[in-house]
């Protein structure tokens, strides 16, 4: 997710994050939306009984939290991780080895990773809210804990992992990763879900994304503090004068996450009713419509982008297919729609019981982290070879072995700062106190002894 192609300098972001802002790298992009991509255009839990359809999704495991997870969605995460690996491979190995034309095309394919991760993460929260509402309060505590961990510890670990030298650590740490935006989303969205029903929540998500686009175009702060606010929350377009380093801004990704919770709740209700196949078909239709409409909108606005000449950033690029920093609605709709179709396909494969060994491996990868792969490829400096697909497959084998080890020891239990434990303890004490008070009141009523 941190190694997509930058749309201003056409440099893979895993390389771009550690280069001066005005680097001289050039890269040829695919011809579609060439006005966007080419550098001369400068864009930049209490248990409750569930239906068999729901319970079959759970992966039972000895007293581990894996029994609470949805195995097929983990498989989707694992598939998205393959695209992450592809993006890192193109940004670190192929680019530095000189195969930059190939790197640009493969980097474009890898752009599905970030929207898919955000969509799947939001859908999982919505799904559990629909299928196990009694446990949703505890889930909120856990997600709050995980979000704090990602922001404090996870960000630091990722910065250390992707930095090649001590001198570049400061710039890398000041940038942000997609995990930072997801961290804020999993901390805030579940609490909003307790206050807003699905339709208002979807309206809020759409409004937030629209207002964010307006702020990107219309708000140009000059004070350092306000520029920082815009950079990390709203987003500064690649290629604009205020851009210093790459950031995954929180607000647009939060809007996408919040919208995904609505879709997850809808799917959860269909699963609870036993209509798994229908839920998958619905996902496929929604993904296809999103994919198609976004592609048409990109095509319709392409002429405006091509007509733009000059050094200034063109606001119409917010509706470009490759506008990822900050993410525009077309980019989110196109690659997010592709990710939802991928989700529907994998869920259906799992329902049919096909490819069980492949699905098991994908689940393991989906439950694991990708830092091992980033560290491995970030230090791999080998000359280019036409046999690079074998090198890529070898790196995937290393990743799969690491993921299997992580999964065997339930490594996710270490992704915590202890906040969930503290909050659950306070909740249990509050419930215990309320139970004693209720018992005393009940015993004092007339007619009871």
Distances (CA, A) of 449 to 44, 435, 436, 439: 75, 18, 16, 12
pLDDT at 8 (0 to 100): 39
Question: DSSP 3-state assignment of 418?
Answer: coil
pLDDT at residue 377, rounded to an integer:
47
Tokens (6 digits) for 409: 């020891």
> Does residue 254 sit in helix, strand or coil?
helix
Task: Please give the distance of CA 238 from its chain centroid, rounded to a whole number.
Answer: 20
Question: Could you tell me the CA-to-CA distances from 131 to 68, 83, 277, 281, 348 in Å, in that order?
Answer: 11, 30, 17, 19, 19
Structure token pair of residue 2: 């941190």
Q: What pLDDT sits at residue 13?
A: 45
Burial class for 216, CB neighbours closer than 10 Å (0-12, 13-18, 19+): buried
Provide DSSP, 103-121.
HHHHHHHGGGHHHHHHHHH
The label of the residue with tokens 């329902």 reads: 351
For 436, half-sphere exposure in the C-beta direction (CA atoms, 13 angstrom radius) is 5
Among 227, 296, 300, 315, which Cα is nearest to 41's? Answer: 315
Q: State both tokens at 115.
A: 């929207």
Q: Do residues 108 and 5 touch, judged by C-beta distance below 8 A?
A: yes
The pLDDT of residue 301 is: 86
Predicted TM-score (pTM) of the model is 0.79
Identify the pLDDT of residue 157: 84
| 256 touches 178 (CB < 8 A) | no
- CA 158, CA 240: separation in Å to the nearest integer? 26
- The predicted structure's pLDDT at residue 130: 93
Q: Where are the domains of the chain?
A: 13-44+46-417, 418-449
Listed in sequence order, the residues at least 6 apart from 414 whose beta carbon sits closer than 8 Å to its beta carbon are none
Please list, in sequence order, all residues whose beta carbon lies within 8 angstroms of the beta carbon of residue 56, skipping any fewer than 6 positions away. Answer: none
Burial annotation 42-66 (CB, 10 A radius, 16+ → b, else e): bbbeeeeeeeebbeebebeeeeeeb
Proportion of the chain in helix, strand, coil states, percent, rounded to 5: 70, 0, 30
Q: Give residue-wise pLDDT tens across range 217-259.
A: 899 898 999 999 999 999 998 766 556 678 999 999 999 999 9
Q: Can you name the residues that pair with 70 across neighbouring β-strands?
A: 58
Render 375-427 in DSSP notation, one character per residue. HHHHT------TTHHHHHHHHHHHHHHHHHHHHHTTGGGGS--SHHHHHHHHH
Q: Report the mean per-residue pLDDT for the chain.
A: 77
- Evaluate whether 352 touches 304 at the Cβ level (below 8 Å): no
* pLDDT of 228: 92
Distance CA 99, CA 406 (A): 33
Q: Which tokens hold the place of 273?
A: 């009713």
| Nearest residue to 331 via CA among 381, 359, 291, 367 | 291
Instruction: Give the per-residue pLDDT at 369.
Output: 58
pLDDT in tens, 129-151: 999 998 898 899 999 999 999 99
User: How far apart are alpha carbons 285 and 51 in whole angstroms?
Assistant: 24
- Positions of the chain with pLDDT under 50: 1-69, 371, 373-374, 377, 439-449
Query: Integer distance in angstroms from the first to the last C-alpha of the chain?
Result: 65
């Amino acid at each position: 997710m941190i190694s997509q192609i930058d749309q201003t300098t056409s440099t893979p972001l895993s390389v771009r994050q550690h280069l001066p802002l005005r680097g001289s790298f050039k890269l040829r992009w695919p011809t579609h939306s060439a006005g966007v991509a080419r550098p001369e255009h400068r864009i930049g839990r209490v248990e409750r009984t569930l239906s068999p359809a729901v319970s079959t999704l759970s992966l039972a495991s000895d007293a581990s939290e894996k029994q609470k997870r949805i195995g097929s969605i983990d498989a989707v995460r694992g598939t998205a991780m393959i695209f992450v690996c592809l993006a890192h491979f193109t940004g670190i190995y192929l680019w530095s080895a000189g195969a930059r034309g190939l790197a640009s095309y493969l980097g474009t394919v890898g752009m599905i990773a970030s929207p898919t991760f955000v969509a799947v993460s939001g859908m999982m929260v919505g799904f559990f809210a629909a299928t196990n509402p009694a446990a949703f309060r505890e889930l909120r505590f856990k997600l709050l804990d995980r979000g704090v961990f990602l922001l404090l510890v996870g960000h630091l670990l990722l910065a250390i992992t992707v930095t090649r030298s001590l001198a570049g650590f400061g710039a890398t740490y000041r940038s942000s990763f997609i995990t930072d935006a997801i961290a804020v989303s999993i901390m805030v969205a579940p609490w909003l879900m307790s206050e807003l029903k699905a339709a208002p929540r979807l309206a809020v998500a759409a409004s937030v994304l629209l207002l964010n686009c307006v702020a990107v175009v219309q708000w140009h702060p000059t004070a350092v503090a306000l520029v920082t606010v815009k950079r990390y929350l709203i987003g500064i377009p690649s290629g604009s004068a205020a851009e210093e380093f790459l950031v995954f801004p929180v607000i647009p990704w939060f809007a996408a996450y919040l919208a995904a919770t609505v879709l997850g709740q809808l799917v959860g209700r269909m699963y609870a009713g036993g209509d798994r196949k229908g839920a998958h078909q619905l996902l496929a239709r929604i993904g296809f419509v999103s994919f198609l409409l976004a592609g048409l909108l990109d095509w319709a606005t392409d002429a405006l982008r091509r007509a733009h000449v000059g050094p200034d950033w063109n606001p119409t690029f917010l509706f470009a297919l490759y506008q990822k920093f900050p993410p525009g609605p077309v980019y989110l709709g196109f690659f997010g729609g592709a990710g939802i179709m991928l989700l529907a396909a994998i869920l259906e494969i799992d329902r049919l019981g096909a490819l069980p060994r492949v699905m098991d491996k994908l689940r393991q990868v989906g439950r694991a982290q990708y830092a091992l792969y980033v560290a491995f490829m970030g230090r791999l400096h080998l000359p280019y070879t036409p046999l690079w697909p074998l090198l890529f497959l070898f790196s995937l084998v290393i990743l799969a072995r690491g993921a299997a080890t992580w999964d065997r020891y339930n490594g996710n239990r270490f992704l915590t700062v202890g906040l969930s434990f503290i909050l659950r303890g306070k909740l249990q004490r509050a419930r215990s106190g309320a139970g004693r008070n209720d018992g005393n009141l009940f015993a004092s009523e007339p007619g009871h002894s």
